[in-house]
Chain A
């Protein structure tokens, strides 16, 4: 079983670099909630994903020792991520964060400890979905010349990055320091006219919200899909973009400042 090859590297330069130490546990949480969690966005955004899933219904639990425990639920052509693995049809257990991360990189094959009868979903539709996700996140793809593909790719990447920020803020040593300086509230991220996401901060712990609430405490928005893509790819610097007005921020700016510091660590993990 090989679910995802190495996740395409995010280019350097979009945000400023910091201390380069990373850890396997934080990476495991990113791989669970941002990368595999990215399948939720894939199924919402990419029509091919719906075609792959058809009417299939299955849930896959990932139980990582000393790491994340979560389940991907595929039903009605959509995918949702829930905490815990008790109810999953298929259960994959990992003895360490390292092994889970190796699976994401296609270097380790877990054996299901539950749901062997549904293994065909794992090896078939699920594998196709992860291949599709990988294609959408690949930054060097010629397909990016196609506006429609670039748009979908950017929207999926947007969700992956925001989800990764939450995990880095919660588990990474330096990210946690930044999070310790974020006051409680809700931070909205938006690609104007295309996508919104929000992180809730409570007691310096970050949670990706399912929907953006009306009352937020700060926001960071990208003028359009191209501006967002250029920043994600490192073609434009975010600080310059603030001056140019293609990135806007408001509200409690210290929240945004610290989120940007966390965001700058995403590339260290997703390389």
Chain B
């Protein structure tokens, strides 16, 4: 049995942070949104990262299945990406005139992403999902946007719901929320809002939090693509989270259809801060006419990193590699769970898997198991999909399964009845 980790330095630093930073660590990396249950089971700050590992400030090493919530796709500090970034940094990064490396990156994306005729760069996923929705509205002169429940498209007001802090009813009045995979609802909604829907925005499959991930039903995407085409509605795929973990040509390509616009961020440059909106020709003039920019959006280093990242992902056939690693992990985790009498659900595409122990009706066994894994060096999180990276080795997977087994045994001993 491994000695469970404790985190005195993390606790100390969190208290320091809470004095000067709202909520200490905000957003998805923080203990509240990150569902650190209990908070004592999780590290709150890292000291360094390499490959598929990160180390916390108490000196513990983790096999990291969150990958910074997606950006780490090749492994932290990938040498090829770092070399390309360093070379560009020597030449210049944030400069009055942009570098032509921006054009190189756009050309590479257009060559790589099946549905792309152009690429527009920003910094975060939210920047490009917002641009996509604005573009759809500008192009169609319509207001309404169709979402699928369980979505996450960023943090701008239009992405949030009426009951979120700081959101006005007016911000979301044109949002229509539908259930994923419910084709009747799609038909009814388009009929009831004829000529009013500017766009449908969707992740390639339902990988929302708190519930098992759900792949598209047979023919669902093709029917939705046709419905959008028939009604003059723009189809936006938010590939920020799943992008390049399913298919380098885009997750729309993976599911056999073409989006009108597709949003990338996270894995685009292995952690360098750049996002991209790619789209079809008919929308290019609309995007060209929009006033939309940011102080750091044309910085050159992330473009160079992105080029190196995509080229390496191509060389590795990265999605296939990640899906294979994820598939092996999935099988072995399920076997380990079964050996201890746990019904572990592993849903979604294996390179982007979601975990849930289904023995109880309240997820508390699951939360206990996750906590015991983290305390022993496997960084899973409770209610978010996980990410595989290319640096993850077979030995890492073996170690993960060993730790998972130990965690299962601890929870089983605690709850022999479940």
Q: Does the CB pair A249–B37 fall under 8 Å?
A: yes
Within the complex, which residue of A17, A177, A251 is in contact with B166, where a contact is CB–CB below 8 Å?
A17
* Chain A CB within 10 Å, residue with most, of B24, B25, B362: B362
**Once bound together, how far apart are the Cα atoms of A31 and B169, in whole Å?**
26
Nearest chain A residue, comparing its CB with the CB of B30? A243
**Once bound together, how far apart are the Cα atoms of A60 and B104, in whole Å?**
78
A237 to chain B, nearest CB (A): 6
**Once bound together, how far apart are the Cα atoms of A173 and B368, in whole Å?**
36
Interface of A is mostly: mixed
Digitize B16-38: 1 where CB-to-A-CB distance is under 8 Å, 0 elsewhere. 00100011111000111001111
* Chain B CB within 10 Å, residue with most, of A18, A177, A242: A242
Q: Does the CB pair B23–A239 fall under 8 Å?
A: yes
Q: Does the CB pair B363–A264 fall under 8 Å?
A: no
Within the complex, which residue of B44, B165, B362 is in contact with A217, where a contact is CB–CB below 8 Å?
B362
**Once bound together, how far apart are the Cα atoms of A180 and B4, in whole Å?**
40
Q: Does the CB pair A251–B14 fall under 8 Å?
A: no
Q: Is A142 an interface residue (CB 8 A)?
A: no
Q: Is B358 an interface residue (CB 8 A)?
A: no
Q: What total of chain A residues lie within 8 Å of the partner, measured CB to CB?
A: 31
Q: With contacts A237-B23, A243-B14, A243-B25 known, is A174 near B361, CB below 8 A?
A: no
Q: Does the CB pair A254–B18 fall under 8 Å?
A: no
Across-interface contacts of A216 in B (CB, < 8 A): 362
Within the complex, which residue of B23, B362, B363, B364 is in contact with A243, where a contact is CB–CB below 8 Å?
B23
Number of A-B contacts (CB under 8 A): 89
Q: Does the CB pair A250–B37 fall under 8 Å?
A: yes
Q: Does the CB pair B210–A253 fall under 8 Å?
A: yes
Q: Does the CB pair A250–B32 fall under 8 Å?
A: no
Q: Does the CB pair B163–A242 fall under 8 Å?
A: no
Q: Does the CB pair B22–A248 fall under 8 Å?
A: no
B88 to chain A, nearest CB (A): 37
Q: Does the CB pair B23–A19 fall under 8 Å?
A: no
Q: Is B280 an interface residue (CB 8 A)?
A: no
Q: Is A16 an interface residue (CB 8 A)?
A: yes
Nearest chain B residue, comparing its CB with the CB of A20? B168
Nearest chain B residue, comparing its CB with the CB of A180? B163
Nearest 6 A-B pairs (CB), nearest first?
Answer: A16-B165, A242-B32, A243-B31, A239-B23, A251-B362, A217-B362
